[in-house]
Amino acid sequence: MRKFYLSVLILIISAMGYPSTGFAVENATGTTSKLMHSPAHVKWQQRGSDYKMSVVEADTPNGQAIKARIKKKKQRPWEIALWFDLRDGAVPGEEIEMRFWARTAKAPKSKETAEIIAFVGRNEEPYDAILSEEIMPSDDWQLFTITGIAERDFDPGKIKAEFQLGKNKQSVEIGPVYISSKGQAQK
Protein backbone atom coordinates (compact mmCIF):
# COMPACT_ATOMS: atom_id res chain seq x y z
CA MET A 1 0.00 0.00 0.00
CA ARG A 2 2.88 2.39 0.83
CA LYS A 3 4.32 1.90 -2.70
CA PHE A 4 0.93 2.81 -4.17
CA TYR A 5 0.77 6.07 -2.23
CA LEU A 6 4.37 6.87 -3.14
CA SER A 7 3.52 6.30 -6.82
CA VAL A 8 0.53 8.64 -6.55
CA LEU A 9 2.72 11.20 -4.79
CA ILE A 10 5.32 11.02 -7.56
CA LEU A 11 2.61 11.39 -10.21
CA ILE A 12 1.12 14.47 -8.55
CA ILE A 13 4.46 16.17 -8.03
CA SER A 14 5.54 15.35 -11.59
CA ALA A 15 2.49 17.19 -12.91
CA MET A 16 3.38 20.43 -11.12
CA GLY A 17 4.73 22.08 -14.25
CA TYR A 18 8.33 23.17 -13.62
CA PRO A 19 11.01 23.99 -16.17
CA SER A 20 13.11 21.06 -17.34
CA THR A 21 16.76 20.24 -16.65
CA GLY A 22 19.11 22.56 -18.44
CA PHE A 23 16.91 25.59 -17.86
CA ALA A 24 19.34 28.47 -17.30
CA VAL A 25 18.58 31.88 -15.82
CA GLU A 26 20.79 34.95 -15.86
CA ASN A 27 20.42 37.07 -12.73
CA ALA A 28 20.99 40.80 -12.21
CA THR A 29 24.76 40.35 -11.71
CA GLY A 30 25.11 38.58 -15.06
CA THR A 31 25.83 35.13 -13.61
CA THR A 32 23.97 32.11 -14.91
CA SER A 33 22.40 29.29 -12.90
CA LYS A 34 21.56 25.92 -14.47
CA LEU A 35 19.08 23.49 -12.95
CA MET A 36 20.69 20.15 -12.06
CA HIS A 37 17.43 18.21 -12.28
CA SER A 38 14.01 18.42 -13.84
CA PRO A 39 11.66 19.68 -11.11
CA ALA A 40 8.71 18.45 -13.19
CA HIS A 41 10.04 14.89 -13.02
CA VAL A 42 11.32 14.53 -9.47
CA LYS A 43 11.16 10.94 -8.24
CA TRP A 44 10.78 11.47 -4.50
CA GLN A 45 11.93 8.62 -2.29
CA GLN A 46 11.34 8.06 1.41
CA ARG A 47 13.41 6.39 4.09
CA GLY A 48 12.63 5.36 7.63
CA SER A 49 9.74 4.34 9.83
CA ASP A 50 7.25 6.09 12.11
CA TYR A 51 6.20 8.75 9.60
CA LYS A 52 3.40 9.59 7.21
CA MET A 53 3.84 11.52 3.95
CA SER A 54 1.01 13.08 1.96
CA VAL A 55 0.43 15.73 -0.70
CA VAL A 56 -1.48 18.76 0.58
CA GLU A 57 -2.73 22.03 -0.83
CA ALA A 58 -0.35 24.84 0.07
CA ASP A 59 0.27 28.54 -0.38
CA THR A 60 3.31 27.84 -2.57
CA PRO A 61 3.94 28.87 -6.19
CA ASN A 62 2.48 25.57 -7.45
CA GLY A 63 -0.25 25.25 -4.81
CA GLN A 64 1.02 21.94 -3.38
CA ALA A 65 3.46 20.55 -0.85
CA ILE A 66 4.53 17.29 0.71
CA LYS A 67 3.48 17.08 4.33
CA ALA A 68 5.72 14.92 6.50
CA ARG A 69 4.31 13.94 9.87
CA ILE A 70 7.05 12.43 12.02
CA LYS A 71 5.44 10.23 14.66
CA LYS A 72 8.57 9.40 16.66
CA LYS A 73 11.91 11.17 17.18
CA LYS A 74 14.88 9.22 15.83
CA GLN A 75 18.38 8.87 17.22
CA ARG A 76 19.85 10.29 13.97
CA PRO A 77 17.93 12.88 11.88
CA TRP A 78 18.63 11.06 8.58
CA GLU A 79 16.78 7.95 9.76
CA ILE A 80 13.65 9.60 8.34
CA ALA A 81 14.25 11.39 5.05
CA LEU A 82 12.57 12.61 1.90
CA TRP A 83 14.97 12.74 -1.05
CA PHE A 84 15.55 12.57 -4.80
CA ASP A 85 18.56 11.97 -7.04
CA LEU A 86 20.00 14.71 -9.24
CA ARG A 87 20.92 13.98 -12.83
CA ASP A 88 23.94 16.28 -13.05
CA GLY A 89 27.24 16.02 -11.20
CA ALA A 90 29.54 18.67 -9.76
CA VAL A 91 33.27 19.42 -10.00
CA PRO A 92 35.63 20.91 -7.41
CA GLY A 93 34.99 24.63 -6.97
CA GLU A 94 31.46 24.50 -8.41
CA GLU A 95 28.88 26.46 -6.43
CA ILE A 96 25.60 24.63 -5.86
CA GLU A 97 22.42 26.36 -4.75
CA MET A 98 19.37 24.74 -3.16
CA ARG A 99 16.12 26.74 -3.09
CA PHE A 100 12.98 25.37 -1.53
CA TRP A 101 9.76 26.34 0.19
CA ALA A 102 9.11 25.00 3.69
CA ARG A 103 6.99 25.62 6.77
CA THR A 104 6.30 24.07 10.17
CA ALA A 105 2.85 22.47 10.25
CA LYS A 106 3.23 21.30 13.87
CA ALA A 107 6.24 22.12 16.01
CA PRO A 108 7.73 19.65 18.50
CA LYS A 109 6.59 20.03 22.12
CA SER A 110 8.28 22.96 23.89
CA LYS A 111 9.64 24.35 20.59
CA GLU A 112 8.35 27.05 18.26
CA THR A 113 9.54 25.51 14.99
CA ALA A 114 10.34 22.19 13.40
CA GLU A 115 13.99 21.30 12.82
CA ILE A 116 15.07 19.73 9.54
CA ILE A 117 18.36 19.36 7.72
CA ALA A 118 18.59 20.27 4.04
CA PHE A 119 21.37 18.31 2.32
CA VAL A 120 22.86 18.06 -1.15
CA GLY A 121 25.63 15.51 -1.48
CA ARG A 122 26.72 12.06 -2.52
CA ASN A 123 23.97 9.40 -2.61
CA GLU A 124 26.40 6.61 -1.68
CA GLU A 125 29.28 6.08 0.76
CA PRO A 126 30.87 8.28 2.06
CA TYR A 127 27.72 10.49 1.81
CA ASP A 128 29.85 13.65 1.80
CA ALA A 129 28.00 16.92 1.42
CA ILE A 130 28.25 19.85 -0.92
CA LEU A 131 25.85 21.64 1.41
CA SER A 132 24.12 20.67 4.64
CA GLU A 133 22.29 23.06 6.89
CA GLU A 134 19.78 22.82 9.69
CA ILE A 135 16.76 25.01 9.11
CA MET A 136 13.92 25.95 11.40
CA PRO A 137 10.97 27.07 9.28
CA SER A 138 8.24 29.15 10.89
CA ASP A 139 4.57 28.29 10.52
CA ASP A 140 4.42 30.67 7.53
CA TRP A 141 5.75 29.61 4.14
CA GLN A 142 9.36 30.66 3.63
CA LEU A 143 11.66 30.41 0.62
CA PHE A 144 15.05 29.11 1.79
CA THR A 145 18.28 29.48 -0.19
CA ILE A 146 21.35 27.49 0.81
CA THR A 147 24.63 27.37 -1.11
CA GLY A 148 27.74 25.24 -0.93
CA ILE A 149 30.88 24.62 -2.95
CA ALA A 150 31.90 21.15 -4.12
CA GLU A 151 35.28 20.21 -2.69
CA ARG A 152 35.74 17.15 -4.92
CA ASP A 153 34.20 15.47 -7.96
CA PHE A 154 30.60 14.27 -7.71
CA ASP A 155 29.76 12.08 -10.71
CA PRO A 156 26.49 12.60 -12.60
CA GLY A 157 23.70 10.56 -11.04
CA LYS A 158 25.61 10.22 -7.75
CA ILE A 159 24.18 13.32 -6.00
CA LYS A 160 20.95 13.62 -4.06
CA ALA A 161 18.89 16.42 -2.53
CA GLU A 162 17.55 15.33 0.84
CA PHE A 163 15.48 16.59 3.75
CA GLN A 164 16.42 14.83 6.99
CA LEU A 165 13.32 14.96 9.16
CA GLY A 166 13.83 12.62 12.13
CA LYS A 167 15.25 15.05 14.69
CA ASN A 168 11.89 15.52 16.46
CA LYS A 169 8.30 14.36 16.60
CA GLN A 170 6.96 17.11 14.30
CA SER A 171 5.12 17.93 11.07
CA VAL A 172 6.68 19.92 8.23
CA GLU A 173 5.62 20.82 4.72
CA ILE A 174 8.08 20.98 1.82
CA GLY A 175 7.07 22.85 -1.33
CA PRO A 176 8.88 23.24 -4.66
CA VAL A 177 12.61 22.42 -4.65
CA TYR A 178 15.20 23.73 -7.13
CA ILE A 179 18.84 22.64 -7.19
CA SER A 180 21.10 24.58 -9.54
CA SER A 181 24.74 25.01 -10.44
CA LYS A 182 26.00 28.58 -10.39
CA GLY A 183 29.26 27.56 -12.08
CA GLN A 184 32.70 28.02 -10.56
CA ALA A 185 32.60 29.97 -7.30
CA GLN A 186 33.84 33.55 -7.47
CA LYS A 187 37.15 34.07 -5.65
> Per-residue pLDDT tens for 22-47?
444 444 455 678 999 888 788 999 99
> In this prediction, what percent of the chain has a pLDDT beyond 90?
75
Give pTM, 2 decimals.
0.83
What sign for the dihedral angle of Cα 104, 165, 159, 10?
A: negative
What's the confidence (pLDDT) of residue 30?
A: 56
CATH number of 2-184: 2.60.120.260, 1.10.3720.10, 3.40.50.9100, 4.10.520.10?
Answer: 2.60.120.260
Domains of the chain by residue range: 2-184
Residue 63 has pLDDT above 60, yes or no: yes
What's the confidence (pLDDT) of residue 16?
A: 39
Residue 15 has pLDDT above 90, yes or no: no
